[in-house]
Structure 1
Amino acid sequence: MAEENLTTATDFIILGFPEYPRLQIPFFLLFLMIYLIILMGNLTIIAVTYLDPHLHTPMYFFLCNLSFLDISSTSVTLPKLLDILLRKGQHISAVGCFTQMYFFISSLCVEHVLLTVMAYDRYVAICHPLRYAAIMNPKVCVLMVAGTWIFGFLEILAHTVLISRFYFCGSNEINHFFCDLSALLKLSCTSTFTVESMIFIVGIFIAIPCLISTLTSYIYIISSILRIRSTEGRRKAFSTCSSHLTVVILFYGSVIGLYLRPSSMQSMNQNKIIAVLYNVLIPMFNPLIYSLNNKAVKEALGKDIGVTGGSQGR
C-alpha cells in the first residue's frame, strides 16, 4: 500500500505568503515596484557601460555580467510571485517547478564564481597595477566569464535530474514564493540523502573555496591599500573595490544565513525572509551600490543623461 501512494509529481502549489492574507495586494505592489527598479537599475548599468568607452574595462565587463545575472535570477522567480499575489496563480507544473529551481540555483552558482572573479580582478588592479593590462586582457576576461556561466549551469544539473525523479506523497504545497530546493526536499518521500550529500560536496569544494579566494583577495587588497602613503591614494584605491566588497558581504551573509544554519533552527517562514533578501533586495541594491560608490559610473551616467536631454531639447 505504501508503494501505491508514491507518485511522481505532476504539479505543485506555491503558497507564496499565505500567513499575510490581507497584504496580498500591498505585497504585489511592493514586489512589482522592486522588480521594475531591478530591471531599470541593472539595464542602466549595462547601457551606460556599453555607451561610454571609458568604461570598456574588465571591471565594468564583469559588472555588466553581474547586472545581467541579477535581471535573470529575479525574472525566474518574481513574475510567478506577482501572479500568485494578484491572481492566486499558485499552480505550477512539475516541469515548470524543476525548471525554475534549476535556473535559480544555477544563478546562485554563477554568482559565487563571478564574485570571486571580480575580487581577483580588483586584486590584480590594486596589487599588480603595472601588469594589470597584460593579466586581465580581453581574451582572458571573456574566457573567465564564459567559464563562470558554463560551470554554474552545469554544476546543478545532476541535482535537478535526481530531484525530478523523486516521488512525492501527501501535500504538493510548497511553502515558499518559488520552487526552492529545501522546500521540495521536505515534500519528497524518496530518500534525499544523495542530493543532500551532493549539496554538501558542492559547498565544501566550490562555495567555500570561492569564499576563501574572495576573502584572500581582499586581505591582499587591504594590505596593499594600507601601504599607500598618501591619504588621497588610499581613498582612490579603496573606492575601486568598496562597492564589490559590500556586495560580497551582503550576498555571502544571506546565503550563509540560509544554508549553514542548523536544520533545527530553520523554518520555512525564516527561509522565505532570507530568500527575499538575496533574491529580491540584493539585486535591487546592487546598481545603487555600484553607482553611488563609483565616480566613473556617476560621471558616465550624468554625461549620457545630459547628451540625451540635449538632443531632446534640440
Structure 2
Amino acid sequence: MPYLRVHPEVAQALDEGLPVVALESTIISHGLTRPDNLRVAREIERTVRAAGAVPATVAVCAGRVCVGLDDTELEAVASRDDVVKVSTRDLGTAAALGGYGATTVAATSHVAALVGIRVFATGGLGGVHREARESWDESADLVTLARTGIAVVCSGVKSILDVPATLERLETLNIAVVGYRTNAFPGFYLTDSGHPLEWRVESPEQVAEILRARDELGLDGLVVANPLPEDEQLDPGLHDRVLTAGLEASRQKGITGKKVTPFLLDFFHRETQGASLAANVRLVKRNADLAARIAVALART
C-alpha cells in the first residue's frame, strides 16, 4: 500500500490481539513548543508502554500515512517547519503530494479505525465553536467519531469552545459520553465544565465492556471523559479571567474562524505564564495511561 504504512511493532500487536493505543500528532507539531514537544511526545509513548499497551502515533511522513512512528519520524514531526495540520479530508491530499502532516483527532480516529485500533488517547476533543450560529464552525472530530467504532479518551473539550452546544451535537450524532469516575463533563484545563453527565464508569474494564456491547449492537463512537484531579487543574479564577480577556482580545483584533482556537491557546499560555501548557501535558499523559489500561482490558477477551 503506497500511502499507508503500519509500523511492524503495531502490525504484530494487532495481528496477535495485543493492546494498542492510537495517539494524535497535532499536539506534537502545533500544540507544544520546541524542544519540549519531542520530549513530551516520547513521554506519552512511554506512558502507554508502562501501562501494558503498544503506542501508535499517527502522522503523515513523506507522503505516507504512518501508524506508529520510529524515533526519526517522531523527531521530524516535532522539528520540521513544513508539517501541516491534517484533518480527515486532508489525508489523501497530503499523502499524494508527498508532504508531512500532523493528524487531528478526526484524522487519527479515521486511520486508527481503518487498521483496527479500538482505543485512542488525546488531550481535548474538538467541538462546536462559539458563535457557530454565524460561522457554522464545528470540528470534524464530531462527525468522524459518529462514523468510527473507536473509544476516545479525552479531558472533555477546551473551554474556549461552546461546551453545551458540543454536548448537544454529541447526543444528536449518537456518540456516547461516559465520565471516568466523574459525573461532570471536564473542561480540559478544569476538572468540571459545569455540565453534568448521565453515565459514569469506575474502571477500564467497564469501558471495555461498553465497547463490546456497542460492537454487538452496531454502534459507533464512544467518548471517555477523564478529568484532571482538582489539585492539578488550572486555577479556576485565573482560567475565567484569562478566558474573558482572550475572547475580548480576539474580538478586538477581528480574529475569526479557524484562527480563534490557536490565538486563544497561545493567549492562555502567555497570560498564565505556562500554567495552562503544564496542565495540558498532565492531562494528555493521564489520558494515555487510561487509554492503555482500557486497551489492555479490551484485549483480555
TM-score interval for Structure 1 and Structure 2 normalised by the shorter chain = under 0.3
Q: TM-score, normalised by structure 2?
A: 0.28
Q: TM-score, normalised by structure 1?
A: 0.27
The structure richer in strand per residue is 2
The structure richer in helix per residue is 1
